[in-house]
Each structure stands twice: as C-alpha cells, then as structure tokens.
Amino acid sequence: MSAQIVPPLAAEDLERASRRDALEQVILVDDQDRAIGEAGKLDSHRLGQLHRAFSILVFNADGDLLLQRRADSKYHFASRWSNSCCGHPRPGESTPMAAGRRLREEFGIRVPLTERAELVYRAEDQESGLIEHEYLHVFHGVHTGDPRPDPTEIGAWRWMSLPEINRSLRLHPHWFTPWFKLLVERLLAR
C-alpha cells in the first residue's frame, strides 16, 4: 500500500496546535525513570533534559507496522517517517493511560496496548536545534482498520512490512526519525 496523504489544515488550526505544544508539561526523570520534576515540553527539548516518553508500534493482522510521516508543522523532526505514535505522559498521568490517549488523539484509534520494552536515547534535530532525551516506554498493539489521523500531527501514513522498513532504513535513513531507527534495530530486527 502506498502512503495515504493527510490533507493539511488551515493556518489558524496549526497555530492552535503550536500553542497547545507550548503549554504541555513533561515529567523529568532520572536514569531509573524516577520522577524528579516537571518542565515545559518545548523547554525540556531545548535543554535536552531526560524526560518520560512512550512510543507505540501498531501492527495489522499481517504483521505490517503502521507508520506515520510527521506533519510538516511539527516542532522537531518534521516530515520524517516514524513509528505509529509517540508522546509524553502529563504530570499525574500514568504512561499506559497517556499512550492510549495519544493514539486516539493522533490516529483516532483505540487498541489494547502492551508495554514491551524500555530504553533511553538521545538525538538532536539539526534543523530545529531541539534535543530528544527520553526514557522511552515502548508499547505494542494490533489494529485491523484504517486510522483517522489528525493533520496537525500526521502528514501521511501507511502500513509497511518489516523487510520493507529495513530496506528503506538502509537506503534512506534520513527519511526517518532517529528513535524509529533505534526501535527497529533493538526491538524489531530479524
């Protein structure tokens, strides 16, 4: 299946999404994922502070992975292909609850999610100057229908087999987010 392009939003909708990002708070953590404070989402990415996050890998019945191309308006790693969904729990919100919330917000789907791994990574976006430094909880789920993506988050989506993903990562690594490459290498390598 080829990529499904998501129609772009009007400028005022993009501005509203940008204001929402500016107000979001993340949970700062130590290297054992113990909460040590809170910070603004954008501030934590400017300073490279370690914070709690999650990534979701949604598969279909054939074992293909749902990928998204991040919207052009994303504050970092815009227009790059990545795993199904990513996000941050809010202060006072459990990570599994946040993962389910964010999957509904980004892709309009509800699926049972199972936590499969934890890892810490750090990556700098050369274009925005922002830094991802996350204690990442990785969830898996299965979905059989088509998603209903939010255009402020997702520019395109597609289902892709693991051999296709590996080939694309090898030939065009710059098309993908650095954490997606890490997830594939550490958790999906065959």
Which residues lie below 8 Å from residue 136, measured CB to CB, with a gap of 6+?
A: 53, 54, 55, 118, 119, 120, 121, 179
Backbone φ and ψ of 184, nearest 5°: -65, -45
The architecture of the domain spanning 4-188 is Alpha-Beta Complex (3.90)
Place of tokens 């990785």: 138
Q: Which of 85, 106, 132, 134 is catalytic?
A: 134
- Is 86 among the catalytic positions? yes
85 is catalytic: no
In the chain, where are the structural domains located? 4-188
**Residue 141: enclosing H or E segment and its boundaries?**
strand 131-142
Q: What is the per-residue pLDDT across 91-125, written as a single tens digit (0 to 9) for each? A: 999 999 999 999 999 999 999 999 999 999 999 88
Mean pLDDT for the chain overall: 90
Instruction: Report pLDDT for 15.
Output: 66
Write out pLDDT tens, residues 21-69. Answer: 667 899 999 999 999 999 999 999 999 999 999 999 999 999 999 999 9
Task: Give Cα separations from 148 to 24, 47, 57, 67, 158 (angstroms).
Answer: 23, 33, 16, 13, 12
φ, ψ of residue 7 in degrees (nearest 5): -60, 140
Of 85, 86, 106, 153, the active-site residue reads: 86
The pLDDT-based confidence of 72 (bands split at 50, 70, 90) is: confident
